Amino acid sequence: MAITAAQVKELRQRTGIGMMECKKALTSTDGDMDKAIDELRKKGLAKAAKKADRETLEGGIKIVTEGGKAYVLSISCETDFLAISDKFKAMLSDIVKYLKENGESSKEDAQEIINWDYALELGENLQIQEYKSIEGGLTAWYVHSNWKIAAVIVVKKDTDETKTKQVAMHVTAANPEFLSASDISEDVVEKEKSLQLEIMKNDEKMANKPEQVLLKIIEGKMGKFKSQISLLEQEFVIDPSMKVKDFIWEDTITSFYRFSI
């Protein structure tokens, strides 16, 4: 019988095994999924055959830079024990190098390499969560010591590298959503206003006040709301007495990215 792409995809998701091997197993078993899994086990792939059903809540992030570009890869696994191991970190380095050399379109091929060359040996479900190449200026980056949170900052030329890395550290801790308050859309602001209105209506101390009064109170809070989610307006985590824009010149940063497992 003809094997469909959907069947191959399902078997890959259930086993973590490569596409060609999945197709062969399905062909030899006339499309019977359970028998195909047994066939894969018979070929010595038993360890991988059940991995895709297990949750991948741990993992690590790797960033490399070259020629003003940053390449960011995150791979998830099942246990923190594996995530902090040298073998897992070596895999991150190998895979980010492969993706850097072959481009974002090679992500599926990179996953195949992980399935064949690493998943069996390491004994866990390993999945590429994100891969991104970043350019547009000079980049500075920071990966937290747990390898699960990272940030990349894109800046203009002639910027203090130490300061920029400290801002990247700030991004991992403060998790801003926008670069500046002017980048926040009216939709985001209106959604927050609606949320705050509902909160106040459910507050016994505020519920009896007229809605117009509540709306005026909420309007007064919007400035603080915008500063809390805007990188440049946030209090700098290393020195809360100043804002990020006071620590590094306001027009220095052109964009930022935050990654997490």
CATH number at residue 47: 1.10.8.10
Instruction: Determine which of 12-21, 93-102, 198-207 has the lowest per-residue pLDDT on average.
Output: 12-21
Last residue of one domain, picked from the residues 91, 114, 135: 135
- The verdict on residue 80 lying in a domain is yes
For the chain, the domain total comes to 2
Q: Are residues 45 and 68 in the same domain?
A: no
Instruction: Determine which of 28-37, 126-135, 226-235 has the lowest per-residue pLDDT on average.
Output: 28-37
Last residue of one domain, picked from the residues 19, 34, 53: 53
Last residue of one domain, picked from the residues 135, 156, 182: 135
- The verdict on residue 233 lying in a domain is no
Q: Are residues 10 and 66 in the same domain?
A: no
- The verdict on residue 240 lying in a domain is no
The CA-atom distances, in angstroms, between 47 and each of 34, 38, 52 are 15, 12, 10
Beta bridge partners of 154: 139, 255
- The verdict on residue 230 lying in a domain is no
- The verdict on residue 24 lying in a domain is yes
- The verdict on residue 239 lying in a domain is no
Q: Are residues 26 and 94 in the same domain?
A: no
Q: Are residues 31 and 65 in the same domain?
A: no
pLDDT of residue 113: 93
Q: Are residues 131 and 116 in the same domain?
A: yes
Q: What is the CATH number of the domain that holds 87?
A: 3.30.479.20
pLDDT band at 44; cut points 50, 70, 90:
low
DSSP secondary structure of the chain:
-PPPHHHHHHHHHHH---HHHHHHHHHHTTT-HHHHHHHHIIIIIHHHHTGGGS---EEEEEEEEETTEEEEEEEEES-HHHHTSHHHHHHHHHHHHHHHHH-GGGHHHHHHHHIIIIIHHHTS--EEEEEEEE-SSEEEEEE-TTSSEEEEEEE-SS--HHHHHHHHHHHHHH--SBSSGGGS-HHHHHHHHHHHHHHHHTSTTTTTS-HHHHHHHHHHHHHHHHHHHBGGGSEETTEEEEEHHHHS-TTTEEEEEEEE-
Residue among 75, 65, 74, 4 at smallest CA distance from 33: 4
pLDDT band at 46; cut points 50, 70, 90:
very low
Tokens in use for 212?
């117009």
Residue-range definition of the domain harbouring residue 13: 5-53
Sort 47 into a burial class: Cβ within 10 Å, 0-12 / 13-18 / 19+: middle
Percent of the chain whose predicted confidence (pLDDT) is above 70? 93
On the question of pLDDT at 256 being above 50, the answer is yes
154/249 Cα distance (integer angstroms): 13
Q: Are residues 79 and 13 in the same domain?
A: no
Q: Are residues 59 and 130 in the same domain?
A: yes
